Chain A
Amino acid sequence: MMENKEDHLLNELKDHYSKLSIPDQMDQMINNGIMKAKKKQRLKRSTYVTTIAVSILMLLFVTSIRVSPVFASFVTNIPGLSKVVELINYDKGLQSAVDNGFIQVIGKSDEHEEITFTVDSVIIDESKLIVFYTITGIEEYNYISLSKVELLKSNGERYKVGTSYDHNINEVEDMVSNKIDFSFHGDTPEEFTLNVNISTSENADTEENLPYTWSVPFQVDKTLFENMKHIYDINQTVNIEDQLITFEKVTIYPTRSELSISFDENNSKKIFGFDDLRIVDQSKNEWSTNNGVSAVHISDHERLLYFDSNYFYEPDEMYIEFKSIRTLDKDKLELQVDLEQQKLIKAPDENITLEFINEKGGELEIGFRIKYDGLHQIRSEEISHEFHDSSATYSFRTSTSSILSNDNAKETVLLIPKREYSNPLTFSFWDYPARIYEDVQIKIK
């Protein structure tokens, strides 16, 4: 058989690299690397204070160039807040809150083993608390991240909140600044204690939890945000191919807007979500749903959806708009896999296919490919982490997805525990790219 051209070229390339000459300076470079590392270990302590001072100055300098005049003067008055601008620049509602001075300075910290965790400032209202923090004293680590976050009330009781923060491991310069979002409803205490754990690593494999809890108690001024919200009742029901969706009300807080909707229990389809959902004003300014938590499932047929806030802007007219819904017939919500024959025996449509089943370690890898209609992908996972066979229900933790950009498809690999299952396995869907297109606009005010 004739060798393919790419095989031929790749083999030539391999050949080339196998003949690559190894320069004599190599050993010298290894020595240099060791010397440099030993020097760094010695110098660590003495350079510690100066590097932090310099980096704070740099940050102030860099950020003050590209922000609004209002904010720039605000920041120069309160040193250390400059990073806030960068962290919220995806959300124009929060930006305008900060422009209006809606931020409280805290400046409290805790230290263990030279690592200092500081709560710089917070943005808080009745719906949400955003904590801006800085970690310093971490020069010796390559990567750092928060491994656990807990918010306590003054009596030490755990405050029940939705928490979201960046799990990604940050590559460390001299300090890390980031934010933690807490979502809640009413009943906002004035005193909190924030507990965090920190992990360090070379890469995800060697991630190591430092054996301390950084604990920072802080107080907020409640009078600055009490009763700050606008409520608009809508009570309009939309009918899309006999599926009834009721838009109930919008509540606008300084940090975000909250839309309550409900689905009719007699709908024949399950609605996963809306595409291009946004709130717009009379001049087509829009507030999207891209911040943190974008939906809360109150029950099977009730949802809260979150948008950027326009509290400080107060448009004259407001509308809700979307272009399509993602939905499946309630009797097509199952995905069944036959492990022995390695094939799908039930699926909503032919856009999902089973690609492979492999054994790996003590687990089974099940690879699916989900085709999109070319419009856009779904950012979240499609397949739920709970599944059952004919005798029991199981769950699994890991699923990895990758977008195959060349052909509008996404590959998802589920890692499920390997054991004796009684065929077939049944999964359900958290979301699915089956759409009904309909441009909808609803007037809020």
Chain B
Amino acid sequence: MEIEQLVKEAQKKNDDAFYELISIHKVQLYKIAYSYFNNEQDALEAIQEVTYRTYLKINKLKYPKYFNTWIIRILLNYCNDEIKRKKRMNKQQIEIKVHQNENEFINRLEIESLIENLEPKFQEIIKLKYIQDLTIPQISQILEFPEGTVKTWLNKSLKILRKELEREGEYYDGK
């Protein structure tokens, strides 16, 4: 069935259609959540919470064809709130796993920590673009900013990342 059809069915309280709808999007949602929390447990928690919120609100979605942007936005709201809450509770745990390829692991930590230092809106754009492979128009719809703004911010974020990497480079190579 098409997404739009599934949404309409789910709005009529058809639980199987609703389940199917979430299943179709689960991998994408999981990856976004994972990019925020960096651990499996919290990302799974996010899936449960987003399923819960979406279930309660699905009747309020006026345009079924925007289900995808709509549910991503619910997820982003949840992730942002949860990150804030965790910071408040001072519970943010850093989970370090054993990786086969240490070099790749260090690279990833480096870029992820640089992304984490960007302003929240820049972070969001970088994650949606580079981790989820979304297009500028899609990002502009999800974040509700004009495409031009998204482009400008994306370029700006990349510029900041480049500058930071260069600075680190100098630090290491400078001897």
Contact = CB atoms under 8 A, between A and B. Distances in A.
- Asked if A and B bind, the verdict is yes
Interface of A: 4-6, 9-14, 16-17, 20, 22-23, 25-27, 29-34, 36-38, 40-41, 140, 142, 171, 200-206, 208, 355-356, 358, 360, 365, 367, 400, 402, 404-406, 411, 413, 415
Nearest to B111: A9
A201 B108 CA distance: 37
| Residue among A41, A200, A406 with max Cβ neighbours from chain B (10 Å) | A406
Contacts of A12: 104, 107-108, 111
Q: Which of A30, A355, A356 has the most CB atoms of chain B within a 10 A radius of its CB?
A: A30
A355 B15 CA distance: 49
Contact of A367 (B40, B121, B148): B148
Contact of A22 (B22, B27, B56, B165): B27
A4 B70 CA distance: 34
B140 to A, nearest CB: 8
Contacts of A30: 19, 22-23, 26, 47-48, 51
Interface string B118-154: 0101000010001111000000000011111101100
The 4 closest A-B pairs by CB, nearest first: A33-B51, A37-B55, A9-B111, A33-B52
B148 A10 contact: no
Contact of B148 (A17, A27, A413): A413
Contact of B77 (A31, A203, A367): A203
B70 A205 contact: yes
Given A14-B131, A37-B56, A360-B146, 6 more contacts: A9-B110, A12-B111, A30-B22, A34-B15, A37-B55, A406-B156
B149 A206 contact: no
A40 B56 contact: yes
A17 B126 CA distance: 13
B68 interface: no
A34 B19 contact: yes
Contact of A415 (B107, B112, B119, B146): B146
13 contacts: A6-B165, A10-B111, A14-B130, A27-B23, A29-B51, A32-B48, A32-B51, A34-B52, A40-B56, A171-B81, A358-B146, A400-B149, A411-B149
Contact of B40 (A23, A140, A171): A23
A204 B57 contact: no
B160 interface: yes
A38 B58 CA distance: 13
Contacts of A413: 146, 148-149
Interface residues of B, number: 63
B50 A208 contact: no
Give the most central of A9, A11, A400: most B CB within 10 Å: A9
Contact of A23 (B44, B49, B111, B147): B44
Nearest to B160: A406
Interface string B93-108: 0000000000010011
B37 interface: no
Interface in B45-92: 45, 47-57, 60-62, 66, 70, 73-74, 77, 81
Contacts of B131: 13-14, 17
Given A12-B107, A37-B52, A405 B119 contact: yes
A34 B51 contact: yes
A36 B48 contact: yes
A355 B51 CA distance: 41
A22 B169 CA distance: 35
B4 to A, nearest CB: 16
Nearest to A12: B107
B152 A411 contact: yes
A358 B160 contact: no
Contacts of A29: 44-45, 47-48, 51
A208 B60 contact: yes
B40 A365 contact: no
B50 A202 contact: no
B164 to A, nearest CB: 9
Nearest to B140: A360
A171 B74 CA distance: 13
A206 B60 contact: yes
A30 B53 CA distance: 11
Given A4-B162, A12-B108, A26-B44, A356 B30 contact: no
A22 B56 CA distance: 25
B44 A5 contact: no
